[in-house]
C-alpha cells in the first residue's frame, strides 16, 4: 500500500498566449476549474496505475471541501485520513502559455492545518511506501518520515531548506533542477550525494531524469511528446515512481517508468486530466521498446 501525506487544492487554470509580466492584464484563451494539489495529484496518479492508495491531508469546511474529498474517493483512494479543518480549502491559480510552461500561485488554506492523528499514523505505519511533499507544514513532513516503517519518498516541492533530520530519514528525494540547487547548493551529482540521502532523483523536464546513488549516476531519457501543459507532470512522475517501487522495481527501473508516465501527463491541459491509466502506460512503454 502507498500512503500519500500532502496537499489538496482546487486549481483555477487559465490558458494564455504568454505569461503576464508585472502589472500586465491579459485575456485568457480559455479557462478551467480542476482538482489539484501536489499530494492529491500524486495519490491520483498512483491510484490510476493500480496501486492501493491512502491519502492523509485536510480540506476546508467550505463547500469545496466535500467536492475535493469526493474527487479523491472517485479515484479509488482511501480518504479516511482526510480531515475537514476550519476555514477554506486550498486553491491554486495557474496560467499556462502556448508552449505549455506555467506559473502557479498557491493559497494553502486548510493544507496549513495538516497534522497526524491516530488514524493518519496508522495509515502511514501500515504502508510499504510513504510519499510526501512540502505544501504542508514541515513539522508534519518530519512527523511522517519519523513514524513511517516503509520506504520514504520526499518530493521537495516547493523548494525550501530541508532539515538534517528529514534528509536522514528519507530513502528517496525527488526534486526538479531548480529544487536540487535550492536544497543541495549545486546541480552537481556530488552535491546530491552530500545530502546523505540514499537516492536522489532529479526530474529534467523534456530531457528525462537523473538518478544519483552512492555508486551510480544514471540518466534516463524521456520520450518525445507534443507538450500541451506541464502542470502535474512532476506529480505524475512521483506517483508512478512510488507505484513502481511498491511493485518491487529498483530505483532505476522505477525512474524509467515514471519518466514515461510524466511525459504522458504533459499531453493535455490540467494536472490530473492527462494522468495515464495502467493500460495506457504499459501500451506506451511497449511502443517505445
What are 88-137's pLDDT values in tens digits? 999 989 898 888 788 888 899 999 999 999 999 999 999 999 999 999 99
| Distance between start and end Cα atoms, the chain | 29
pLDDT, mean over the chain: 93
pLDDT band for position 272 (cuts 50, 70, 90): confident
Mean pLDDT of 132-149: 97
Do strands 2-5 and 78-84 pair parallel, antiparallel, or not at all (unpaired)? unpaired
pLDDT of 86 reads 86
Q: How many other CB atoms sit within 10 Å of the CB of residue 190?
A: 10
pLDDT of 94 reads 86
- Is the model's pLDDT at 82 over the cut of 90? yes
pTM of the model: 0.92
Q: CA dist 98 to 17, 27, 28, 103, Å?
A: 5, 13, 11, 12
Task: Give CA–CA dist 185/113, Å, rounded.
Answer: 30
Mean pLDDT of 228-246: 92
Percent of the chain with pLDDT over 70: 100
- 235 among known catalytic residues: yes
pLDDT of 17 reads 92
pLDDT of 261 reads 96
Of 11, 171, 235, 246, the catalytic one is 235
Q: Do residues 286 and 260 make contact, with C-beta atoms less than 8 angstroms apart?
A: no
All cell numbers assigned to 262: 510524466
Q: Which domains does the chain have, with CATH numbers?
A: 2-288 (3.40.1190.20)
Q: Where is 254: in which H helix or E strand?
A: helix 251-264
Mean pLDDT of 166-195: 93
Task: Give CA–CA dist 115/193, Å, rounded.
Answer: 30
Ordered strands of the 102-107 beta sheet: 30-36, 9-15, 90-96, 102-107
Q: Do residues 69 and 59 make contact, with C-beta atoms less than 8 angstroms apart?
A: yes
Task: Give CA–CA dist 44/72, Å, rounded.
Answer: 7
pLDDT tens string 47-73: 999 999 999 999 999 999 999 999 999
Amino acid at each position: 500500500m502507498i500512503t500519500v501525506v500532502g496537499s489538496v487544492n482546487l486549481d483555477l487554470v487559465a490558458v494564455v498566449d504568454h505569461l503576464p509580466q508585472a502589472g500586465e492584464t491579459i485575456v485568457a484563451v480559455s479557462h478551467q476549474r480542476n482538482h489539484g494539489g501536489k499530494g492529491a495529484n500524486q495519490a491520483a496518479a498512483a491510484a490510476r496505475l493500480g496501486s492501493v492508495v491512502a491519502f492523509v491531508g485536510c480540506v476546508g469546511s467550505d463547500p469545496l471541501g466535500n467536492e475535493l474529498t469526493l474527487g479523491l474517493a472517485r479515484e479509488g483512494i482511501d480518504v479516511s485520513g482526510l480531515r475537514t479543518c476550519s476555514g477554506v480549502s486550498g486553491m491554486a491559480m495557474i496560467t499556462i502559455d502556448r508552449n505549455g510552461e506555467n506559473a502557479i500561485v498557491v493559497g494553502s488554506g486548510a493544507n496549513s492545518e495538516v497534522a497526524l492523528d491516530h488514524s493518519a499514523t496508522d495509515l502511514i505505519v501500515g504502508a510499504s511506501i510513504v510519499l510526501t511533499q512540502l505544501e504542508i507544514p514541515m513539522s508534519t513532513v518530519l512527523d511522517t518520515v519519523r513514524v513511517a516503517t516503509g520506504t520514504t519518498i520526499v518530493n521537495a516541492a516547493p523548494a525550501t531548506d530541508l532539515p538534517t533530520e528529514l534528509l536522514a530519514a528519507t530513502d528517496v528525494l525527488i526534486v526538479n533542477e531548480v529544487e536540487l540547487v535550492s536544497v543541495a547548493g549545486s546541480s552537481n551529482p556530488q552535491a546530491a550525494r552530500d545530502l546523505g540521502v540514499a537516492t536522489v532523483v532529479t526530474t529534467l523536464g523534456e530531457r528525462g531524469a537523473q538518478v544519483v546513488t552512492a555508486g551510480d549516476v544514471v540518466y534516463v531519457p524521456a520520450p518525445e511528446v507534443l507538450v500541451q501543459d506541464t502542470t502535474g507532470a512532476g506529480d505524475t512522475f512521483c506517483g508512478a515512481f512510488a507505484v513502481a517501487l511498491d511493485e518491487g522495481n529498483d530505483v532505476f527501473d522505477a525512474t524509467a517508468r515514471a519518466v514515461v508516465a510524466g511525459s504522458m501527463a504533459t499531453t493535455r491541459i490540467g494536472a490530473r486530466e492527462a494522468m495515464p491509466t495502467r493500460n495506457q502506460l504499459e501500451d506506451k512503454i511497449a511502443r517505445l521498446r
